[in-house]
Amino acid sequence: MVVSRGRNPSAAEILSQLVQAKGLRDRVLITLGLLLLVRLGIYIPVPGIDRVAFQAFIAQGGQLLGFLDIFTGGGISTLGVFALGILPFINASIILQLLTAAVPQLEDLQKNEGEAGRRKIAQITRYVALGWGVIQSVVFALILRQYALPGLSDWQFVLQTSLALVAGSMVVMWISEVITERGIGQGASLVIFVNIVATLPKALGATIQLATTSRDRSTVGGIVILLLVFLVTIVGIIFVQEGNRRIPIVSAKRQVGGAGMLAARQSYLPLKLNAGGVMPIIFASAVVFLPLTIANFTKNPLLIRAAGYLNPNSSTPWLYALVFFALILGFGYFYASLTVNPVDIATNLKRSGVAVPGVRPGSATATYLSNVQNRLTLLGGLFLGAVAIIPSAVEGAIQVRTFQGLGATSLLILVGVAIDTAKQVQTYVISQRYEGMVRQ
């Protein structure tokens, strides 16, 4: 097969590599097999629970349980041993990212210790995931205690349920790490991706049934409008996820041995439009649902009334939208400050003899990069806020709730993981292409 050195691999070339290259084929098969194992574990039931009563509770659980059920691929509603799924590991990763910015020892491990430091942080993340998984499992078991079948005392039920849930969560975490190491793509992201995709057939089936059984033409028109909104949202997500500001940089002339002066080189520094990715929406969702969770757990009438104002299905949905939008924008700035450090970038550029044209090296460059990053974060935050609110607003306006829970967070994860995995496959194919050229 004839390939070009200067272009990305085509679909035909990727398929050819899947058939001919044993390395890529094995990675894809390992990934698919382990993801299938994750899905099967969701349907292994946790013993000792009255599932009929629990399903009635899930039907009244609201958006919080629906939001969590999306990430576990229906694990919470089916009460499988993988019910918690990858959630403890994701929460632990977020906690470690926050602590890395606040604790100098962790920051030193990440920046200065190289691969050994990253391995230590990964090990700490596993321990935090275990602890967080124990906490979530015990809380979940306490909630499920009222649906326990006769024959077990309260402490026996909580103990066996917690052990089953935390063991299942640790198995999912191990599977995700095996996928990252020996498969294709980032394991934790692919587990969430598959769980979200697994909920799509149910939502699409309910939508098709609504369209075929409804005698109201406005319902069919509303479904078409909603699907168009989702399509436009996906296109917008792709553009914003791939969008970046290219800041031109130039390296100074350098003396290289006896070869004379090395001419100045021009390049660019890319700053992403959406540096935080999906994290600002996940953080904002957790915060906006927290009052409702506390109110439901404590059964305090005052808290329930106060939390009701932040319910999107309440009489004041505009208040929920306003608070959610502000939280997304605020967390967008917060997460951008964790992922992009203008002072470190400016210091590294100065040490390498690289400068931004028209900007003095050092503190002036850091200020310039900070201003650019703030403007990019504002645009990215406004986009995330619009993506988070518009689909839900359209659903409420046309009264089509079949896609309940499949909102902006799900779409961002689906598109982002698909793009990252496709890029990794392309990178592998390109590396195989150049290895073949070297052998020739």
For residues 398-415, average pLDDT: 67
Determine the average pLDDT of the residues in 207-212.
74
Q: Pick the more confident residue, 389 or 187.
A: 187
Backbone angles phi, psi at 210, to 5 degrees: -65, -40
Instruction: Strand 266-272: give its sheet, edge to edge.
Output: 266-272, 244-251, 354-355
In a domain, 90, yes or no: no
pTM value is 0.77
Helix ranges (DSSP H) in 43-153: 51-59, 62-71, 75-78, 87-102, 104-112, 114-144
Question: Which residues partner with 244 through β-bridges?
Answer: 272
Report pLDDT for 344: 83
Only one residue has tokens 């044993």, namely 22
Q: Read off the pLDDT of residues 376-388 as tens digits, 9 standing for 90 and up.
A: 888 888 888 887 7
DSSP state of 95: H
Residue 8, strand partner residues: none
Does residue 321 lie in a domain region? yes
User: Distance between CA 438 and CA 440 in Å, rounded?
Assistant: 5
| pLDDT (0 to 100) of residue 4 | 45
Please tell me the total count of domains within the chain.
1
Q: Chain-wide mean pLDDT for the chain?
A: 77
Question: What tokens does 12 get?
Answer: 């035909």
Could you read off the pLDDT of 216-248 as tens digits, one per residue? 666 777 777 777 877 887 888 788 777 888 888
CB-side neighbour CA atoms (13 Å) of 219: 14
Statement: residue 1 has pLDDT above 60: no
- Which has more confidence, 407 or 14? 14
Helix or strand holding residue 225 (H, E): helix 217-242
Class of residue 393 by CB neighbours under 10 A (exposed 0-12, middle 13-18, buried 19+): middle
State how far the Cα of 390 lies from the Cα of 396, in Å rounded to an integer.
10
Tell whether 63 is covered by a domain: no
- Give residue-wise pLDDT tens across range 322-348: 888 888 888 888 878 777 788 888 888
Backbone angles phi, psi at 402, to 5 degrees: -70, -20
CB 336 within 8 A of CB 271: no
Q: Is residue 389 part of a domain?
A: yes
For the residues 65-90, what does the mean pLDDT come to?
75
Does residue 16 lie in a domain region? no
Q: Is residue 146 part of a domain?
A: no
More confident residue, 8 or 354: 354
Give domain status of residue 58, yes or no. Answer: no
Give the residue-averaged pLDDT of 99-113.
77
pLDDT confidence of residue 343: 85
Band of pLDDT at residue 134, cut at 50, 70 and 90:
very high
- Structural domain range at position 305: 214-406
Q: What is the average per-residue pLDDT within 190-194?
A: 86
In a domain, residue 380? The reply is yes
The CATH number covering residue 247 comes to: 1.10.3370.10
